[in-house]
Amino acid sequence: MDWFMILKAFIVGGIICVIGQVLIDKTKLTPARILVAFVTTGAILGGLGIYKKLIDFAGCGATVPLTGFGNLLSKGAIESLKKDGILGALMGGVKSAAAGISAAVFFGYIASLVSKPKIKKQ
Amino acid sequence: MFFIKPIESNEDYQKYVDEKTPNSPIWKDCFNAFWVGGLICAIGQVIFEICKMRGVGETNCYAIVSIMLIFFSAFLTSLNIFNKIGKFAGAGSLIPITGFANSIVSPAMEYKSEGYVMGVGAKMFTVAGPVLVYGISSSIIVGLIYLIFNMQYISLV
C-alpha cells in the first residue's frame, strides 16, 4: 500500500473542497451552481491537459472531486475523437463517464425506493 | 431627531444586506471541509490501491472507486446519515462524487410521494441534471476546440 499517495490524495482532495467551501461562504452561490462550475472547470482543465498532471500527482485526490468527473468527460471526448473524428467528440465523453453516471442513477433509484419517504416540515 | 437613512442605490442595499446576514465562521467551515473532503478522497485512494494490488487496470480502478463511493453515499443518504455529514462538512461532502450521488438520492426520496415516474424519476435530476448538461456540453466543446488545433483528426466517419 502506497501510504504517501494516500496522504497526497488527502491533501489535494481537501484543498479542492476548501476552494468549494470558500465559494459557498463568500459568493452565496447555490450548491447546484457550484457543482456545475466544478464540472465545467474540470472539463476545461482536462482539455488543456493540466488536470492529468494533477491526477498523476494525487490520484484519487484529483479524480474523486467533481472536477475529476468533468476531466473524465473531456478526456474521453478527446480520446475517441482521435479514433472517430467529429463523431468521437459526441460519443467519447459519456462513454468514459458511463460507470459513474449509471451507478449514480441506479444506486440512487434503489436507495430512494428502499428509504422511507421523508416527512416534509411545514 | 434621528433619521433612518433611506436606501437609495443598489450598493447601499447590498451593504445593508451584508451587515444583517450572519457571517458563517469561514475558518471552521474550511477546516471541516478540508478534512472530510480529504478523508473521502483518501478512502478512494485506499480502494484504488487495493484494486491495483489485485491487478485491475488503472482506468477500471478509478471507475471502481467512483462506483463504490457513489454506492456508500446513496446508502448513507437513504439512512438520513449523509445529510448530517453534509451539514457539518459543507463542501467537504458536496464536491467529491459523493455529493453528486447525494444530490440524486435526496430529491428522489423527498418527492417519492408524488409517484415513481414524475416524483422519483424526474426529481432525481434536479441538481444532477444541470451537472450532466454542463459537463457533457463543455466536454463536446472542448473536443471540438481540440479538433480545430489538431486538424489531422478531422474525419466524419
HSE (CB half, 13 Å, CA atoms) of A117? 13
Q: Which three cell numbers stand for residue A26?
A: 463568500
For residue B41, give the nearest of A13, A39, A59, A19 by alpha carbon.
A13
Those residues whose C-beta lies under 8 Å from the C-beta of residue B155, and which sit 6 or more positions away, are A84, A85, A86
Phi and psi, residue A65, nearest 5°: -60, 160
Q: Determine phi and psi for A118, rounding to 5 degrees.
A: -70, 145
Q: In this complex, which of A14, A20, A109 lies closest to B94 when CB atoms are compared?
A: A20
Q: What is the pLDDT of residue A122?
A: 45
Q: For residue B61, what are the domain limits?
A: 26-127
Beta carbons of A44 and B146 less than 8 angstroms apart: no
Q: Which of residues B3 and B97 earns the better pLDDT score?
A: B97
pLDDT value at position B22?
63
Does residue B155 surpass a pLDDT of 70? no
pLDDT at B21: 67
Asked whether residue A120 is assigned to any structural domain, the reply reads no
- In Å, what is the CA distance from A79 to each residue of A45, A85, A122, B104? 15, 10, 50, 28
Would you say residue A55 lies in a domain? yes
pLDDT tens string B62-86: 999 999 999 999 999 999 899 899 9
Answer with the residue of higher pLDDT: B50 or B15.
B50
Q: Nearest by CB to A22, which of B30, B49, B142?
A: B30
Query: In chain B, which among 87-106 make CB contacts under 8 A with chain A?
Result: 90-92, 94-97, 99-101, 103-105
CA distance B35 to B42: 10
Task: Give, in degrees to the nearest 5, the angle at Cα A16 between B65 and A91.
Answer: 55
Is B152 a member of any domain?
Answer: no
pLDDT, tens digit only, all 122 positions of chain A = 788 999 999 999 999 999 999 998 888 788 889 999 999 999 999 999 999 999 999 999 999 999 999 999 999 999 999 888 888 889 999 999 999 999 999 999 999 888 876 555 54
Q: Which residues of B touch A18 (CB under 8 A)?
A: 30, 33-34, 37, 91
Q: What DSSP designation does A120 have?
A: P
Distances (CA, A) of A81 to B38, B39, B43, B62: 34, 35, 33, 22
A20 in a structural domain: yes
- B89 found inside a domain: yes
More confident position, A36 or B157: A36
Tell me which residue range forms the domain holding A98. Answer: 3-114
Q: What is the pLDDT of residue B42?
A: 95
A21–B33 C-beta distance less than 8 A = yes
Q: Which of the four pLDDT bands, split at 50, 70 and 90, describes residue B104? A: very high
Domain count, chain A: 1
So what's the pLDDT on residue B3? 64
What is the model's pLDDT at position A115?
82
Domain count, chain B: 1
Would residue B82 count as lying in a domain?
yes
Q: Is residue A122 part of a domain?
A: no
Mean of pLDDT values over B89-105: 92
Amino acid in position A112: S
Is B143 inside a domain boundary? Answer: no
User: What pLDDT, on a 0 to 100 scale, did the predictor assign at position A29?
Assistant: 85
Distance from CA of B55 to the nearest CA of A (A): 13
Computed over every residue of chain B, the mean pLDDT equals: 87
Q: Is the pLDDT of residue B10 over 90?
A: no
